[in-house]
């Protein structure tokens, strides 16, 4: 499996994707028949795809093996993402979803295998080499907790920080804690994950603000919390921000958080102010929910939507 390397003048972005997935979705066609859609997936890829849509030269590193791995590398390259594959003995994870009745129904899900020690070492080495020339590094989480050792996130964040590469991470669970140990530039996390992980007492605004401060104390320079249909909140340099995108009709909310992460990272790489990065991130998430594809959209639509996003300072207390 060889990656394509096409020279480009667009900003270089690195994506760490420890769990690339082969996805199959059944859809109902307008005439009532069944359509079958086959796409690459996994959080890292979804973040990378939106970043590519927003004009970044995206380079993704992840493990690929078996028939599914070969197919995934080809499909990712065709979608404008340059892949730096680490070959593995086992095939990639995959799933089949049925969305013919509107809601997603899981038919089959095959978890990715746990990487061996040598595969983990190769993944780290290739990732570090790929990230060294990047203006920004984007870290996606694994599909399941045991897919990759969590300490990889600590080492990768620490080493990228030492090299002066800003890290934008979209994580939860054990990998979130591991990344904080290494230090991240921007941490994006959903309020549901914070509550599930025991990092926030509730969805109450003051509880989430307190959680942001703790995440900052643990190693995140800036923190962004997405709140489903409610305005996102963020902490940067002691300032608390509220981010409200226009209320649009939701076709599929999946991929909105990944799109937001990509938007923030893309703006950050371009040298934008933090509040402008929040605008682009919220706009990317809003455009995504109007479509069925995860982390998809058109750049012009995202940039126009960003003009409609409100970013305002909040007064938040810390207990």
Domain boundaries, the chain: 12-313
In this structure, what token pair is assigned to residue 215? 């995440």
In this structure, what token pair is assigned to residue 244? 């409200």
Mean of pLDDT over the chain: 92
Q: What's the mean pLDDT in 110-125?
A: 95
Compute the distance between CA of residue 70 and CA of residue 131 in angstroms, rounded to an integer: 23
In this structure, what token pair is assigned to residue 11? 């900003």
Q: Which of 149-153, 252-256, 284-288, 311-315 bottoms out in mean pLDDT, i.e. has the lowest?
A: 252-256
Compute the distance between CA of residue 306 and CA of residue 71 in angstroms, rounded to an integer: 35
Kindly tell me if the per-residue pLDDT of 318 is higher than 70: no
Compute the distance between CA of residue 302 and CA of residue 263 in angstroms, rounded to an integer: 9
- Predicted local distance difference test score (pLDDT) of residue 6: 40
Compute the distance between CA of residue 111 and CA of residue 96 in angstroms, rounded to an integer: 12
- Predicted local distance difference test score (pLDDT) of residue 137: 97
Q: How many CA atoms lie within 13 A of 56 on its CB side?
A: 30
β-sheet with 136-140: strand ranges across: 82-87, 57-64, 12-16, 136-140, 167-170, 184-190, 220-227, 230-236, 239-244, 310-314
Q: Tell me what percent of the chain is helix, strand and coil, each rounded to the nearest 5.
A: 35, 30, 35
| C-beta atoms surrounding 163 within 10 Å | 12
Compute the distance between CA of residue 199 and CA of residue 221 in angstroms, rounded to an integer: 17
Percent above pLDDT 90 for the chain: 81
Q: What's the mean pLDDT in 301-314?
A: 93
Q: In this structure, what DSSP letter does residue 89 have?
A: S
- Predicted local distance difference test score (pLDDT) of residue 246: 87
Identify the CA nearest to 252 among candidates 312, 201, 295, 208. Answer: 295
What are the Cα distances from residue 222, in Å, to 7, 141, 293?
Answer: 32, 18, 29
Summarize pLDDT for 183-209 with one digit per residue, the tens: 999 999 999 999 999 999 999 999 999
Kindly tell me if the per-residue pLDDT of 34 is higher than 60: yes
Domain spanning 12-313 has what CATH number? 3.40.1190.20
In this structure, what token pair is assigned to residue 83? 């892949």
- Predicted local distance difference test score (pLDDT) of residue 4: 41
Summarize pLDDT for 1-17 with one digit per residue, the tens: 444 444 445 789 999 99
Sign of CA dihedral 87, 1, 140, 27: negative
Identify the CA nearest to 141 among candidates 215, 46, 234, 270. Answer: 46
Identify the CA nearest to 16 among candidates 54, 57, 77, 61. Answer: 61
């Amino acid at each position: 499996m060889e990656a394509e390397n096409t020279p480009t003048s667009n900003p270089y972005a690195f994506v760490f994707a420890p769990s690339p997935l082969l996805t199959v979705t059944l859809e109902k066609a307008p005439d009532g028949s069944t359509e079958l859609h086959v796409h690459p997936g996994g959080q890292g890829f979804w973040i990378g795809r939106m970043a590519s849509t927003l004009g970044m030269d995206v380079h993704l590193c992840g493990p690929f093996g078996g028939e599914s791995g070969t197919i995934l590398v080809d499909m990712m390259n065709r979608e404008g993402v340059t892949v730096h594959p680490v070959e593995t003995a086992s095939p990639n994870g995959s799933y089949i979803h049925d969305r013919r009745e509107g809601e997603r129904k899981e038919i089959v899900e095959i978890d990715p295998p746990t990487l061996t020690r040598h595969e983990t070492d190769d993944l780290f080495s290739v990732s570090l080499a790929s990230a060294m020339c990047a203006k920004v590094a984007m870290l996606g989480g694994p599909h399941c907790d045991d897919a990759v050792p969590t300490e990889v996130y600590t080492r990768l964040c620490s080493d990228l920080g030492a090299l002066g590469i800003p890290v934008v991470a979209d994580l939860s669970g054990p990998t979130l804690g591991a990344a904080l140990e290494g230090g991240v530039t921007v941490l994006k996390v959903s309020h549901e994950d914070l509550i599930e992980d025991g990092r926030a007492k509730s969805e109450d605004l003051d509880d989430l603000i307190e959680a942001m401060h703790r995440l900052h104390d643990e190693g995140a320079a800036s923190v962004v919390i997405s709140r489903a249909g409610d305005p996102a909140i963020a902490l940067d340099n002691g300032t608390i921000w509220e981010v409200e995108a226009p209320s649009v009709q939701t076709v599929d909310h999946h991929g909105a958080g990944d799109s937001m992460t990509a938007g923030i990272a893309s703006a950050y790489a371009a040298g934008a102010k933090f509040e402008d990065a929040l605008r682009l991130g919220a706009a990317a998430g809003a455009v995504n929910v109007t479509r069925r594809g995860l982390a998809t959209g058109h750049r012009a639509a995202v940039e126009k939507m960003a003009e409609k996003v409100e970013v305002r300072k909040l007064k938040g207390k810390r207990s």
